[in-house]
Structure 1
Amino acid sequence: MPAGPDPEDDVGAEPEVADVVAAAVLAVPGVHDLHAGVAGEVATYLPGRRVNGIRMREPGCSIHVVLDWGTPVLDTTDAVRAAVRPYVSGPIDVTVEDILPPGSTGSAPAAL
């Protein structure tokens, strides 16, 4: 049986743009999580894995998020675009897939 990818092969390698974009999005206040879409269709596929909630295009990208309750939607989606702009040329489409209910500390709903 062939061995899977060796994580040590990636040591010192440049991170994938989708990973950098995902980290930038998750650092925006009010963003609770990334969301893979209703049927799990929003993702960037990389060797042996996928980055859910980020679909890289040429040019631009689509980002699907779950926001915390009470987060101003338009301000937060603008902040997501600004956080991602250094890494992505072209249009940056942000979709709010869900809003976490008040008082919830759980994870975002899973895609079907």
Structure 2
Amino acid sequence: MNPAGTGETHEVGRLADRIAEAVAGCPDVAALAGGPVATYLAGRSVAGVAVREKEVEVALVARYGRPLGEIAADVRTAVEALAPGLTVNIRVEDITLPDPGTGPSKPEPGTGPSKKDITRPASGEVSPERSGDAPVSP
């Protein structure tokens, strides 16, 4: 496929549209990212999807929660089904945070770290978890 080619621009545009739709349908994708990653066509562009001769590049905004590698793998699988034989590169440009009303709830009282968890050992030595800290005198 040659996006700048003579007779394949329409085909590239349809492929870019189908890829954009498939990526937007992935549950952990909030949106396709705007910016330099795009397929430029006569009179329009498909933001977040660049269809090139040997590769497809997708730039997206992920939803907060799952590991980004897992989200990228899901997107790659969806794109590879539409563009077999092309290398698929995924760029996570941003991450959206959940709305404050729908985000994780506050911990129940008594379930957070205990005083023992956040204080120094009685000997005054630096704990292994906080090796960069200096001893503090009482």
Q: Is the TM value for this pair above 0.5?
A: yes
2:97 maps to amino acid: P
Match of 1:49 in 2: 44
Gaps of 5+ in 2: 1-9, 101-138
Q: What TM-score do the two structures reach when normalised by structure 1?
A: 0.72
Could you list the structure 1 runs, at least 4 aligned residues long, displaced by more than 4 angstroms after superposition.
none
Q: Cα deviation per residue 1:29-58 (whole Å; 9 max; x = unaligned)?
A: 10000002xxx2111012211000001111
Structure 2 Cα separation of the partners of residues 26 and 72 of structure 1: 18
Flag the structure with higher helix content: 2
Given the alignment, which residue of 68, 72, 80 partners 1:73? 68
Q: What TM-score do the two structures reach when normalised by structure 2?
A: 0.60
1:59 aligns with 2:54: yes
What RMSD, in angstroms, separates the aligned Cα atoms of the two structures?
Answer: 1.8
Given the alignment, which residue of 96, 101, 107 partners 2:97? 101
Report sequence identity in percent.
37
Q: Secondary structure at the match of 2:78?
A: helix
Structure 2 Cα separation of the partners of residues 100 and 29 of structure 1: 13
| C-alpha displacement of 1:102 | 2.5
Gaps of 5+ in 1: 1-12, 105-112
| C-alpha displacement of 1:72 | 2.3
**Larger Cα Rg: Structure 1 or Structure 2?**
2
Q: Secondary structure at the match of 1:16?
A: helix
Structure 2 Cα separation of the partners of residues 29 and 86 of structure 1: 17
